[in-house]
Structure 1
Amino acid sequence: MISDVLAEAKEKMNRAVEVAKDDFATVRTGRANPALFQKLLVEYYGTPTPLAQLAGLQNPEARVLIITPYDKAALKDIEKAIVAASHLGATPNNDGNIIRVTMPELTEERRKDYVKLVRSKGEDAKIVLRNLRRKAKDDLDATKEVGEDEIARAEKELDSLTKSHVDAIDEALKRKEAELLEV
């Protein structure tokens, strides 16, 4: 029972760290990266749909991204979603078939804004980890078949598991900050 709770907590924490790393990848560095737009939600026939499901993304130049919608009717919706995503600072140009997105040069102030955004995403990921820890601890406390010593040992293991995952997020955050501040 205890091992099941710890295994489930570890699996969910691993997923939370991967999601945090994916979120960090969506924050722009020196070049236009298709990952910036992967999770961008577009209102498509009344349903929020990830851009990656609606269009192909290509990166022909460092600061230009070409978005080719699978359905030409979605062009306006995609363009609206890009304009609404103010954290990207992108300017879309629609020629009727494709959308060219030009990313602005990164200024020092803009880089610092991105660092704040990444730190916020990192803190959100840590909150998820703490919530997973709390749920696992509640599950451990609810087990009646085992002794207090075993539960205490499991809680220590849960704490070290949580700390290792928080450290992994901190390390990814540190790398991303260095990448963003690099000129």
Structure 2
Amino acid sequence: MSSNTKVFEDKMKGAVDHLDRELAAVRAGRANPAVLDKVVVDYYGAPTPVQQVASVAVSEARVLTITPWDRSLLRPISKAIQASDIGINPIDDGQTIRLNFPAPNEERRKQLAKDVSKMGEEAKVAIRNIRRDAMDKAKAMKKAGELTEDTQKTMEEDVQKLTDKYIKLVDKTVEEKQKEIMSV
């Protein structure tokens, strides 16, 4: 790979990393601390992610426990979870907060699988847009005399190989997440 394509590879990797973060937040019926990534609590006037003010652990396959380091945060964390789009009511026992993840029904699992597929398509569109930008840059560099025609072709082939590699990675990631969602 030439140094010209390294920038585009980094961007494609970024698109896959973004997809991984999005998929981590999809609730598949198993307890996953990533569902709390977007939940923030007011901590001394500053909106702070729950993971920075509490210990978050998976105690059982479908139970997430949140133990705040400052017990006065129990109620604010519970309220923040209720206000979020997680869709699970927190159980506060005075020391920890438990989130019980119910197994999604068949219809919900199919909808989640569709959502995951849509996220995968968005990631593939982002990768293809990066490929288009790379191809445009190669043409512009050739026109400006910075590349020979052979070097331009090599760069375009490298970019296409990268695109194929990352599209396959997206497909594999989406397929694994769908299997996880559809298994009860």
Does residue 21 of the first structure (1) align with residue 20 of the second (2)? yes
Q: Taking structure 1 as the reference length, what is the TM-score of the superposition?
A: 0.81
Q: How many residues are treated as equivalent by the alignment?
A: 180
Q: CA RMSD in A?
A: 2.5
Mapped partners of 2:78, 2:20: distance in 1:
26
Choose from 111, 114, 117 the match for 1:113: 111
Inter-partner Cα distance in structure 1 for 2:47 and 2:132: 31
Q: Which position in structure 1 is the counterpart of 2:156?
A: 155
Tell me the amino acid that sits aligned with residue 26 of structure 1.
A
Q: TM-score with structure 2 length normalisation?
A: 0.81
SS in 2 for 1:67: strand
Q: Indicate the residue corresponding to 2:38 in structure 1.
A: 40
1:26-175 aligned at under 5 Å gives the runs 26-37=25-36, 39-45=37-43, 48-86=47-85, 88-143=86-141, 144=144, 145-175=146-176
**CA deviation digits over 1:25-84, x for unaligned, max 9?**
3323342122332x2231535655433223211122222211112344543443233223
Identical pairs, percent: 40
TM-aligned CA distance change 1:168 to 1:56, over 3 Å: same
**Partner SS state of residue 58, structure 1:** strand
Q: Tell me which structure has the larger Cα radius of gyration.
A: 2
Indicate the larger mover: 129-138 or 165-174: 129-138
Change (3 A) 1:124 1:52: farther
Which structure 2 segments of 5+ residues have no match? none
CA 1:124–1:78: 2 relative to 1, 3 Å? farther
**1:18–1:47: structure 2 CA closer, same or farther, 3 Å change rule?**
same
